[in-house]
A = this chain, B = another copy of it.
Amino acid sequence: MVSNKFFAIVAGIGPATGRSVALRFSESYPVVLLARRPESYNDVVAQINKAGGRAIGISADATDESSLASAFETIKKEFEGLQLAAAIYNVRPNSRPSRKPFLQLTISDDLEPSLIGNIRGLFIFGQKVVPLLLESVDSSPYPPTLVVTGATASIRGSKNWSVIAAGKCGARALTQSLAREFGPQGVHVAHAIIDGGIDVPDAEHANRNDATPDGKISPYGIAESYWNLHTQHKSAFTQEIDLRPFNEHF
């Protein structure tokens, strides 16, 4: 049964994690899917609506204040009367910084996209969703939740990952700080370290965890863990989880 009082929002929809998280949360909530381009969410929005859920896709750049503000205007109209129960920040940098030797990196192509996509976007998104999550504390079926998608680079600066790690570690610190500030106010803020390559579902093994090739993370597994984070009782919040394939070396 999809709620008629609460909704969820997923920022950053690609072929893997964002899409699977939206599908999972759509089993209980109407969902908003934010992505830069409509082709990123069109089919999954259709899939959810066809399956009896409720979904809208909005083209927006979560790292841009006015673009995000405009997206929230649309949400306000479309989901009038609904309160925010869960928000997922899963945005990738616009131009993904290559793993390259430090001296080959540039500010505009490598550093800025990482800082903007990982930190600034989360800052802007956080300032938009935290007030809405706070409003839901007393009424939400589960503690209102903000989940941020991280990676191995969120906890270490490996060789050739310098600007990616700077962005990811910065986002993790920001998330931690929000958890410490808003946890006591009843909002659950969690960070997930995705350690490994993520499988992109296709026709052959779509929506089936058991068919994920060994060594790849199932995005459905990630989505299930995000849902489990959301449904944790407020007396037992997890601030950080790691997720990796059983056979990943770490």
Report which A residues bind B (CB closer than 8 A): 65, 101-103, 105, 107, 111, 115, 119-120, 123-124, 126-127, 130-131, 143, 153, 156-163, 165-184, 186, 188, 199, 209-210, 212, 214, 216-218, 220-222, 224-225, 228, 232-250
Most B CB contacts (10 A, CB to CB) among A180, A182, A217, A248 go to: A180
Known contacts A115-B119, A166-B170, A173-B166: A235-B250 contact under CB 8 Å = no
Residues B177 and A157 in contact, CB atoms below 8 Å apart: yes
B238 pairs with A225, CB closer than 8 A: yes
Across the A-B interface, the 3 shortest Cβ-Cβ residue pairs:
A221-B236, A157-B176, A157-B177
CB distance A157 to B169 under 8 Å? no
Measured between C-beta atoms, what is the minimum distance from A31 to chain B in Å? 21
Assess the B242–A239 pair: CB atoms within 8 A: yes
Q: Are A173 and B177 in contact (CB under 8 A)?
A: no
Q: How far is the CA of A196 from the CA of B175 in the complex (A)?
A: 21
Asked whether A102 lies within 8 Å of B126 as measured between CB atoms, the reply is yes
Q: Least Cβ distance of A33 to chain B in Å?
A: 21
| B181 with A102: CB separation less than 8 A | yes
- What's the Cα separation between A245 and B234 when bound, in Å? 6
* In the complex with contacts A169-B170, A171-B166, A177-B165, A220-B239 CB distance below 8 A: no
**Judging by beta carbons under 8 Å apart, are A123 and B101 in contact?**
no
Q: Which residue of B lies closest to A179 (CB)?
A: B157
Contact of A233 among B181, B188, B218 (CB under 8 A): B218
Asked if B228 contacts A237 (CB within 8 A), the reply is: no
Closest to A215 in B: B235
Q: Within the assembled complex, what's the spacing in Å between the Cα atoms of A157 and B155?
A: 13
CB distance from A44 to the nearest CB of B (A): 20
Q: Give the residue among A156, A165, A221, A233 with the most B Cβ atoms within 10 A.
A: A233
Q: Are B221 and A232 in contact (CB under 8 A)?
A: yes
A246 / chain B contacts, CB cutoff of 8 Å: 143, 183-184, 186, 188, 234-235, 237
